[in-house]
């Protein structure tokens, strides 16, 4: 039995499906751990497949590849270097599990399966995995190691079982995606489990973007006395080695190490947007991104995020004025492009508007202009942008925010055209806050310029789609501060009309917003993916029927 252990935390950014590349990442981390004389390296959840692998797990030949790669890597641990607590989808007796595998002395020395499978929000593990039995501890160098996997520590049952089975340290692989409230929730659950079991905990989280999810890392170690011994940086890969000793009371203690302050508030939202976009572009092999830069606040912050994520040379912007585009918007778009250092093209849409007017005149006749002509403008812009995207290979970003997408203030096949939405889960009021924040801050490691990147007039002028003369968003919508509060109540809070009215909103306004929210479901089903920021993002977290008559109850 040893009284000393050296444990390395491998906070990595895997790519879903890239089995060989993901194990190469672990292999590199193991080399670093070996240089630190580590005994054991601990990875995040399902690092071999990437997380979440979703229905890839249902493909037998995918699991064949996983097993072959894991067995090959296990053989390498016969070299006397660190053991590896590796994580992968794993078959056993005809079932597939979310597994932790101890690779030691050239073989798979122990296997444990995730017991509590999350089946809420963005999680759908019951669909693809079998729940494992209550786990007992693994023996490693005479130390009894408990390995609850992610959701297993969100309730007391699995850690309690491990304590009763004699576990001494909890090593927890995690694939815990970011939302604005998640960091505090993780820490609260971890401290609760440490308090209940009297054991220290190593919490290793994934980092990186995967479709609509982004993982913030922020791995940590908590000692049995609740002290935070290690806090890994968030939003980046990290391989951190920690030193452990058995105390006089037989309780293991981490002797401390790196302690980084996690990002909070607007900084964490901005980092999530940036990392989510960067990894979506990089992991899908796009050379860059394309943005319709209108002179408005949404396209400006989208461009800023893109420049920070990819660098100005990989961002291309297009201004597409119509007869209703103000001189201010032309000037503001040009200034924003200059501040960010991006290329800006100018393609007027008047010829397209005239062409459509002529083509449709036999059908429209003398009918008065209405939203139809406004949508034709938006779709003309979408057609131009998609044409440029197809020709250059740059992925088109949409610029609509959560407030607009909530109430359908967007045009299908127009401003909704694109492959990814940076602001999909960001309310309009938060967009304004992010613009002010980015003009004053630039987190380390981002690729854009220091200082102001968004002209002040873009932030202060009244929002407008500029699809008709003197148009303002508030012609069609409540003021954004009121709209966003009502939407948060309806979407994140699932509150009743009466509860929202009690907050000081007019009943007719609340009913109208609810009606618009439900009517726009068909648009949201056709919207591109975008990074999750709140705890209730559109998509897999909020599934409402398109055909839905539960709207008017007042």
Catalytic residues: 45, 114, 150
Three-class secondary structure of residue 477 per DSSP: coil
The token pair at 42 is 């601990």
Whether residue 320 contacts residue 384, with contact meaning beta carbons closer than 8 Å, is answered with: yes
Residue 157 burial (C-beta neighbours within 10 Å; 0-12, 13-18, 19+): middle
| CA dihedral sign, ordered 515, 269, 430, 324 | negative
Instruction: With CA atoms as reference, report the closest residue to 486 among 545, 432, 427, 541.
Output: 427
Q: Where are the alpha helices (DSSP H) in 137-257?
A: 157-164, 182-197
DSSP designation for 422: T
| Sheet strands side by side (includes 4-11) | 107-113, 95-104, 83-92, 40-43, 4-11, 238-246, 252-254
Q: Where are the alpha helices (DSSP H) in 110-234?
A: 157-164, 182-197
331 Cβ contact list (under 8 Å, min separation 6): 295
Q: Residue with structure tokens 């929000």?
A: 121
Whether residue 304 contacts residue 453, with contact meaning beta carbons closer than 8 Å, is answered with: yes
The token pair at 296 is 């408005």
Q: HEC string of 327-362?
A: HHHHHHHHHHHHHHCCEEEECCCHHHHHHHHHHHHH
Q: Residue with structure tokens 């209940």?
A: 196
Q: E strands, 408-544, where?
A: 420-421
529 Cβ contact list (under 8 Å, min separation 6): 211, 212, 280, 420, 421, 424, 539
Exposure of 349 in the CB half-sphere (CA atoms within 13 A) = 29
Q: How far is CA 248 from CA 168, 252, 253, 532, 554, in A?
A: 14, 9, 10, 45, 67
Beta bridge partners of 289: 315, 395
Kindly state the helix (H) or strand (E) to which residue 524 belongs, with its residue range.
helix 521-524
């Amino acid at each position: 039995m040893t009284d000393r252990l050296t444990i390395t935390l491998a906070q990595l950014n895997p790519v879903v499906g890239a089995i060989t590349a993901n194990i190469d990442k672990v292999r590199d981390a193991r080399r670093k751990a070996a240089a630190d004389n580590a005994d054991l390296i601990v990875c995040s959840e399902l690092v071999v497949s990437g997380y979440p692998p979703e229905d890839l797990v249902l493909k037998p030949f995918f699991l064949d590849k996983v097993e072959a790669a894991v067995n090959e890597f296990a053989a390498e641990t016969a070299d006397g270097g660190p053991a590896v607590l590796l994580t992968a989808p794993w078959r056993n007796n005809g079932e597939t599990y979310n597994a932790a595998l101890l690779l030691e002395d050239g073989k798979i020395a122990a296997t444990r399966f995730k017991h509590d499978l999350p089946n809420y929000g963005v999680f759908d593990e019951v669909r693809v995995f079998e729940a494992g039995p209550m786990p007992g501890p693994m023996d490693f160098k005479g130390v009894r190691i408990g390995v609850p996997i992610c959701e297993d520590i969100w309730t007391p049952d699995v850690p309690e079982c491990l304590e009763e089975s004699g576990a001494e340290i909890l090593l927890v692989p995690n694939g815990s995606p970011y939302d604005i409230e998640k960091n505090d929730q993780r820490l609260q659950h971890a401290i609760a489990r440490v308090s209940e079991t009297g054991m220290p905990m190593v919490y290793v989280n994934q980092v990186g973007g995967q479709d609509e999810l982004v993982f913030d890392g922020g791995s940590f170690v908590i000692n049995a006395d609740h002290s935070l011994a290690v806090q890994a940086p968030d939003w980046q890969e990290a391989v951190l080695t920690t030193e452990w000793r058995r105390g006089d009371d037989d309780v293991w203690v981490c002797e401390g190490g790196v302690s980084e302050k996690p990002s909070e508030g607007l900084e964490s939202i901005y980092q999530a947007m940036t990392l989510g976009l960067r990894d979506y572009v990089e992991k899908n092999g796009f050379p860059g991104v394309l943005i319709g830069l209108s002179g408005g606040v949404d396209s400006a912050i989208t461009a800023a995020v893109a420049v920070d994520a990819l660098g100005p040379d990989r961002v291309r912007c297009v201004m597409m004025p119509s007869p209703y585009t103000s001189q201010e918007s032309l000037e503001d778009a040009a200034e924003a492009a200059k501040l960010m250092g991006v290329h800006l093209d100018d393609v007027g849409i008047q010829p397209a508007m005239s062409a459509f007017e002529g083509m449709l005149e036999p059908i429209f006749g003398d009918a008065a202009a209405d939203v139809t002509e406004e949508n034709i403008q938006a779709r003309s812009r979408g057609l131009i942008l998609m044409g440029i995207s197809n020709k250059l290979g740059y992925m088109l970003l949409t610029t609509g925010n959560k407030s607009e997408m909530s109430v359908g203030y967007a045009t299908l096949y127009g401003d909704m055209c694109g492959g990814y939405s940076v602001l999909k889960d960001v309310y309009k009021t938060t967009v304004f806050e992010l613009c002010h924040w980015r003009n004053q801050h630039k987190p380390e490691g981002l690729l854009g310029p220091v200082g102001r990147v968004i002209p002040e007039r873009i932030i202060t002028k009244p929002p407008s789609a500029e699809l008709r003369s003197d148009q303002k968003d508030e012609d069609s919508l409540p003021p954004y501060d009121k709209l966003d509060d009502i939407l948060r109540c309806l979407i994140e809070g699932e509150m009743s009309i009466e509860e929202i009215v009690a907050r000081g909103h007019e009943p007719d306004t609340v009913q109208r917003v609810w009606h618009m929210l439900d009517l726009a479901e068909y648009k949201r089903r056709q919207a591109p993916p975008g990074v999750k920021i709140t705890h209730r993002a559109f998509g897999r977290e909020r599934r409402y029927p398109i055909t839905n008559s539960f709207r008017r109850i007042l």
